[in-house]
Amino acid sequence: MSDKKEAADAPAKKKGGKMKWVLIALGGLVLVGGGVGGGLYATGALAGDTEAEASGPRLVPKSEEKRAESKDGEGGGEAPPVGEGGEKYASTYYAMEKEFTSNLRDSVHFVQVGIAVSTHYDDSVIESLKTHEIAVRSAVLLALGETDEEMVFTSEGKRQLQKRLTKAINDVLKEKQGFGGIGNVYFTNFVVQ
């Protein structure tokens, strides 16, 4: 009888031993999965933050717009509510210090322009522009050199030139920094001789 009792106990021990290993394996998977998930959350991958978002400029809402200070040192008043008085995002302007002078394509005339740029992004776009100013100046001069004489005498031609200069500057910034961010180019000076 004792043989039957030992035979009945033996399979039960084997079954309990398998269950024990299954539980240990599941516990290990939970620990490893929790560690991986915690690591991903800590690096921002699960929170929706990607490296491009973290390292790229951010749009500045109009409510955070910097106001020029008045002569008495106080701010220019409160920002208008979002959606009133223009666009949803604040604009930051930067005037390039030196003017650009270039010959016009297939012409004896040349053009001299002063330009300023605007962006709806934070100051990192302007800082990138300053950092890569030599490459940006070169791109602007190349774009000016490809400009026809007829283009600089009409308002529509000047608007097209603004778009070409905006693209040229953004192309340089994308190449150098991975992000453009310039919304428009404005002429602060425009002379054709």
Q: What does the pLDDT look like over 109-146, one tens digit per residue?
A: 999 999 999 999 999 999 999 999 999 999 999 999 99
pLDDT above 90: residue 81:
no
Q: How far is CA 39 from CA 35, 42, 51, 85, 168, in A?
A: 6, 5, 15, 45, 41
Which CATH superfamily is 62-192 part of?
Answer: Band 7 domain (3.30.479.30)
Q: What's the confidence (pLDDT) of residue 1?
A: 54
**What are the boundaries of each domain within the chain?**
2-55, 62-192
pLDDT in tens, 142-189: 999 999 999 999 999 999 999 999 999 999 999 999 999 999 999 999
In the numeric block, which tokens belong to residue 82?
């979002």
Q: How far is CA 183 from CA 29, 154, 162, 193, in A?
A: 50, 22, 10, 29
Q: What's the confidence (pLDDT) of residue 52?
A: 42
Does the model's pTM come out above 0.95? Answer: no
pLDDT in tens, 30-80: 777 777 777 766 665 554 444 444 567 888 888 887 765 444 444 444 444
β-pair type (92-95, 110-119) = antiparallel
C-beta of residue 111 within 8 angstroms of C-beta of residue 69: no
Nearest CA-CA partner of 162 in 96, 129, 115: 115
Q: What's the confidence (pLDDT) of residue 88?
A: 87
